[in-house]
Amino acid sequence: MAPLRAPRPRGLALGALAAAGTVAFAPFPAAPAAPTPVPRTGFETSHGARWTSGPEETAFLAAVDRASPRVRVDRIGSTVQGRPLRLVRIGAPAPKDPAAVRRGNSVLLICSQHGDEPAGREACLSTVRDLARATDPTTTRLLAHTSVLVVPTANPDGRAADTRGNADRTDLNRDHLALTTPEARAIAAVLRDYRPDTVYDLHEYTPKPPWYDRDLLSLWPRNRNTAAPVHRASTALSRYFVAPAAQRAGFSTGVYGIWTDPVTGAPVKQVAGDGQERILRNTAGIKGSVALLVETRADGQRLAAGPADPAGGNRRRVAAQRAALKGLFAFLDRERGRIETATTAARAAGLADRGPVYLGGADNEPPSPDRVLTRPPRAYRLDAAQFARVRAVLAAHGVDWRWDGDGGATVPLRQPLRALVPLLLDGRADDHLVAAAPLDR
């Protein structure tokens, strides 16, 4: 397979709005038809002075849904405090069911898992509107072949309280394995039902000048269970599409979690961004999706007009996210065939049931021998009590099992989510749910 190409400096014309009018012939001059108002977020109407509220998001998405046949908004769950979790589906027209999405390419945007990181959410909301209304050929071609799925606010309770965690103070981006929260369960269900080819996770980070001081950082799945074709496509998305798109818009870029020397640019140390399977970019990679974490700096005002202009800083934070999204959409448009080939191969590999499973390490950190299952068991046996504890989680992930006569179950490794099974059920895994009995080959 030829290597993924770096894009030419062109991108999706997000924000291109149709301007159509009508002419009425009548005995007397007719008043011009009133143009359809363009839905705007609270962030946009305040010119960045405040973030879009929950009720404003509800009204905004409803207006976009009404105005475009490309858009469908569904409720996919509720938070601890009863706020809606929404999935926006965008296509040409909007896909009516998950099966329609699975027949083509799809991308899932997860926005603001951390409630105190709102810039990604604002970029997602305005992008939903712009994709729904755009008429340029690039966008039209993209939506003809790719379904865009968006969870615009993955942590509504945290967003309302301006907190990192949800109402139970759980960090959602550490819950994509155990699925203890309704928010993580809703995301897992979308991954299971739609099987997106690409998962794109939008965050913000706190810079540490001069070592950790870029406008936009990104990182692919580092978990070693990510299939090689998916890993290559994920790193290409970061290096050849997202980073260049941000740079063309005037933003500095880097790798998330890596401090660099401000003079030479050489890496100094790694402070985040490991291979933990419970983090969404890693979970998605293990499940066979191309994945990317994108983080913009949370103190945008320092790089805008100064501390006296917080609204300008907020606008810069959102602009950096939108610039990176242009790189994502260029990747989806230009590399659709390669993406589908990579994800299809990754999911089919589990059915072959060959090769090791890694309980630790990362793509830049070789695991110790005791963290590698060189000959994984053929299955794991759950007794009745264990199965009762984990059945709902297995179902939410889409893991296959076979009923046993005593109320327990056997979970085979020969399935598309092969690499996920030991991480959930092997007592040696860092975040296992139960220590099931391995059944040797």
Does one domain contain both 337 and 364?
no
Does the pLDDT value for residue 394 go beyond 60? yes
Q: Write down which residue in 345, 363, 382 finishes a domain.
A: 345
- Looking at mean pLDDT, say which of 4-13, 24-33, 194-203 comes out highest: 194-203
Does one domain contain both 272 and 391?
no
Does one domain contain both 367 and 309?
no
* DSSP codes of every residue in 277-319: TTSHHHHHHHTT-EEEEEEEES-GGGGTT-TT-HHHHHHHHHH
Does one domain contain both 302 and 359?
no
Q: Tell me if 179 is assigned to some domain.
A: yes
pLDDT number for residue 76: 98
Q: Report the number of distinct structural domains present in the chain.
A: 2
Q: Which of 255, 331, 340 is nearest to 10 (CA)?
A: 331
Does the pLDDT value for residue 238 go beyond 70? yes
Extract the tokens encoding 282. 């890693």
Does one domain contain both 369 and 390?
yes
The partner residues of 90 in beta bridges, in order of sequence, read: 71, 148
Q: Tell me if 59 is assigned to some domain.
A: yes
Q: Write down which residue in 310, 345, 380 finishes a domain.
A: 345
User: Is the peptide bond preceding residue 209 cis, with omega within 30 degrees of 0?
Assistant: no
Query: Could you tell me the strand order of the sheet in which 379-382 lies?
Result: 402-403, 409-412, 379-382, 437-439
What is the SS3 assignment for 358?
Answer: strand
Asked if 118 and 51 touch (Cβ cutoff 8 Å), the reply is yes
Asked if 366 and 358 touch (Cβ cutoff 8 Å), the reply is no
Q: Tell me if 33 is assigned to some domain.
A: no
Does one domain contain both 82 and 106?
yes
Q: What CATH number does the domain containing 191 carry?
A: 3.40.630.10
Domain that holds residue 233: 42-345
Alpha-helix residue ranges (DSSP H) falling in 73-155: 98-102, 119-133, 137-145
Q: Mean pLDDT across the stretch 339-352?
A: 96
Q: Mean pLDDT across the stretch 248-259?
A: 97
Q: Which tens digit of pLDDT belongs to each residue from 97-128?
A: 666 666 579 999 999 999 999 999 999 999 99
pLDDT number for residue 102: 60
Look up the pTM and report it: 0.91
Does one domain contain both 240 and 386?
no
State the Cα–Cα distance between residues 220 and 198, nearest whole angstrom: 11
Does one domain contain both 335 and 365?
no
Q: Tell me if 30 is assigned to some domain.
A: no
Does one domain contain both 383 and 363?
yes
Q: Tell me if 190 is assigned to some domain.
A: yes
Query: Could you tell me the strand order of the sheet in which 198-205 lies?
Result: 71-78, 84-90, 146-151, 105-111, 198-205, 290-297, 216-219, 253-255
Does one domain contain both 115 and 194?
yes
Does one domain contain both 263 and 397?
no
State the Cα–Cα distance between residues 322 and 124, nearest whole angstrom: 8
Does one domain contain both 298 and 389?
no
Q: Residue 263: CB partners within 8 Å, gap ≥ 6?
A: none
Q: Tell me if 15 is assigned to some domain.
A: no
Q: Tell me if 257 is assigned to some domain.
A: yes
Q: Write down which residue in 298, 322, 345 finishes a domain.
A: 345
State the Cα–Cα distance between residues 340 and 248, nearest whole angstrom: 27
